[in-house]
Structure formats: C-alpha cells, structure tokens
Amino acid sequence: MASEADDDEVLGLRVVTLAGGGRVDKALAEALPEFSRARIQALMAEGRVSRGGAPVSDGSTKAVAGDYRLLIPPPVAAEPKAENIPLVVLYEDAHLIVIDKPAGIAMHPAPGSESGTLVNALLHHCGDTLSGIGGVARPGIVHRIDKETSGVVVVAKTDAAHQGLSTLFAAHDIDRVYVAFTRGAPSPIKGTIEGAIGRSPNDRKKMAMVKSGGRHAVTHYTVVSTFGPVQRPLAARVACRLETGRTHQIRVHLASKGTPCLGDPVYGSGSPAGPVKAALEAAQLSRQALHAAVLGFVHPINGETIRCESPLPPDMARLEQLLSAL
C-alpha cells in the first residue's frame, strides 16, 4: 500500500466521508467529481485508497460508512516529442515567437492528450531553444488559450523573454482583443464585466463567477454589430478586451450576462433561436465562437512594439456571413 511518506504532495491527500451503500468506486467518484470512476479504480489498484488504515482495492465492493483516504500522486510531466505540425507564424526572432493557433489544438500536453499540441509543434519548429521556465511539459508557454479557441498566442524562446513576458501579463501591460459571437447581445452595448472567477461549487469541471475565493477578473466589451431584429437581436459580434486573463474568463463573463458564446458546449446553456442554430450548422462551427484576434505588447528584450492580428478563421467568418443575412 502507498504511504504518505512517498513522493505524494500534501495537497494530494483527500479524505472523503461516505454514508455507505452502493459500489465504493461509484460512491467515491460521485463525492470527488474531479476524478473519473476509472481514475478512482486505478488509485485503488495502486493501493492508494484506504479506510481505517486498511486498503480498499476492489471497487465493486459495497461502500461502508466512514472516512476514506485517497493519496493522489503528483502528475508526472512527460517529455513532449517534436512533431511536424504546420504552424502559422506571425512574428519570430531569437527571443520569442507569435503563433496563430487554430481551434482544436491544445497548448501543451496533458494526461490523455500527450501529442498533437502546440508544444509538440514548437519543439519541431524551434528545436531545444524554447524557454525551460514553463517546465518539461510546457516549455516556453507564457499564457494559454482554450483548445477550441483560435487565435494569437506568444511563446518564449529564452528564459529572459519568458520572465519579461510574464511580468507584462502580470502587470496587465498586454493588449488582448478577442472576437466572440454571442447568443443575443450584451446590454448595454459597451461595458465592463468584473467579478472573481473560480471553480464552480456545483461542477468542479467548470469555472464560475464566485462570491468568495476565486481570482479577480475584468473583461471590457463592445458590441460591434447585431444580427436579427434591432430591438431584440438574435446574435451579436462582440469585441472583448482582457484586463486580466483567467481560465475561461470571456466565456464565463459573457455567460453571466445571459449572452454566452455561440457553440459553447460548457457555458452556452439554452438553445439559440432557430435561424441562429441553422447558421451554426451551415457554418459547421462545432466549438465556441471565440477568437483571439489581437495581441500587442512591448518586446521584453529589445523594446520594440509588437502587434499581431489574426483574421477570423473560416468557420467564424462563414458564421458571420450567415448571421448578417438574418
């Protein structure tokens, strides 16, 4: 049986109190939604689940009332492999590289997604020149955009550039503009959404605006155009300028206004109007309609002003064309 004296981090200890009844693996998975049932079963097989000091190794046994202790090992960073994945390079020098990332590509390897990421592509393109500050699995990564969000990202090739860019992001000295297509239109047509973002208390796999805890988040938005009836738009094109950069920030903030990104599978609760739904299907947009369109900053090494822009990708451009006909 694994012990706390192993390499497990202190934060890797979970204590769960079960009322008893039902399969123990299912009961634990329901009590810990951040872990799948398969993950719970794997921990049991490794001797990392116990009750009263005795290992619980068979997930099919009935859950007995009491406290269960789970030792969660820290993630092991896999050594990413270079892959010849085409990149659209908007700017590059010896210190950093700016990429126009397509939707569907994750930023860096993660459990269950060890290949086909931007890091894999960068390792092929840049060799071993990427900054090591991000760690083995995330070389050069200074900031992230979601896998299904397209657009501009900057990656550091030297540690000095990494530190400089990180300072700019921390000080909010980066100009970041996103284009979103929303269900309905935010009101007023121009404003600021401000509110802390943290893990949702109802679904640990989602982010949410929270009253306590979380991290301060600010999004400035402007409705650029609306589609459908003027008095009650069916959809809108919205420009969002980030003051902070939190996980799923724009998606959470727009959803809080009742105007989520079209196509958002996580935060887009409710169905869009029939004509908008038809436009989404015709545009073959199978992701959130969100695109990182502008990234501007002062080069941390040579002081040059860098501003990179990315046009709407084909799926979002087609969606706008179809929405404009409503």
Report CA 132 to chain centroid distance, whole Å.
Answer: 22
SS3 298: strand
- The DSSP 8-state label assigned to residue 63 in this structure reads P
SS3 209: strand
CA distances from 98 to 79, 90, 91, 287 (A): 23, 5, 5, 23
3 state SS for 78-112: CCCCCCCCCCCEEEECCCEEEEEECCCCCCCCECC
- Nearest residue to 123 (alpha-carbon basis) of 88, 87, 150: 87
SS3 211: coil
How far apart CA 210 and CA 255 sit, in angstroms, is: 14
58 counts as catalytic:
no
- Nearest residue to 145 (alpha-carbon basis) of 184, 102, 186: 102
DSSP strand pairing (235-242 vs 150-156): unpaired
Which one from 25, 146, 264, 315 is the annotated catalytic residue? 146
CA distances from 193 to 185, 245, 293, 315 (A): 14, 13, 19, 27
The structure tokens 């996580």 sit at 266
The structure tokens 């501007």 sit at 296
SS3 249: helix
DSSP strand pairing (175-183 vs 190-194): unpaired
Residues with a known catalytic role? 146
